[in-house]
């Protein structure tokens, strides 16, 4: 999100991350959009090249095929989705 803060270890610095504020022309935290956000996060999290998927429902960090739940990331990603690539 504009003005967001990233840690020194963030994938944002390497250019392999995208933050998504809107999905289907609605804010990602809009109540009418939550089912679409869940479906989108599930699809993204299944992709083999995704390293991070943070948002309302899914908050994982992947190392190859190993998935680590990062529940503490949810509160930092309530108004946007954070997706990064392993490559």
- List pLDDT tens digits, range 65-85: 899 999 999 998 899 999 998
Q: What's this model's pTM, rounded to 2 decimal places?
A: 0.82
d(CA 6, CA 76): 10
- Burial tier of 37 (Cβ tally within 10 Å: 0-12, 13-18, 19+): buried
- Burial tier of 2 (Cβ tally within 10 Å: 0-12, 13-18, 19+): exposed
- List pLDDT tens digits, range 11-57: 554 557 888 999 999 999 999 999 999 999 999 999 999 999 999 99
């Amino acid at each position: 999100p504009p003005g967001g803060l990233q840690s020194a270890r963030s994938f944002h610095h390497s250019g392999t991350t995208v933050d998504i504020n809107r999905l289907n022309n609605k804010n990602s935290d809009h109540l009418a959009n939550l089912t679409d956000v869940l479906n989108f996060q599930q699809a993204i999290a299944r992709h083999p090249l995704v390293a991070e998927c943070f948002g309302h429902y899914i908050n994982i960090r992947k190392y190859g095929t190993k998935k680590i739940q990062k529940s503490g990331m949810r509160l930092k990603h309530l108004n946007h989705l954070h997706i990064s690539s392993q490559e």
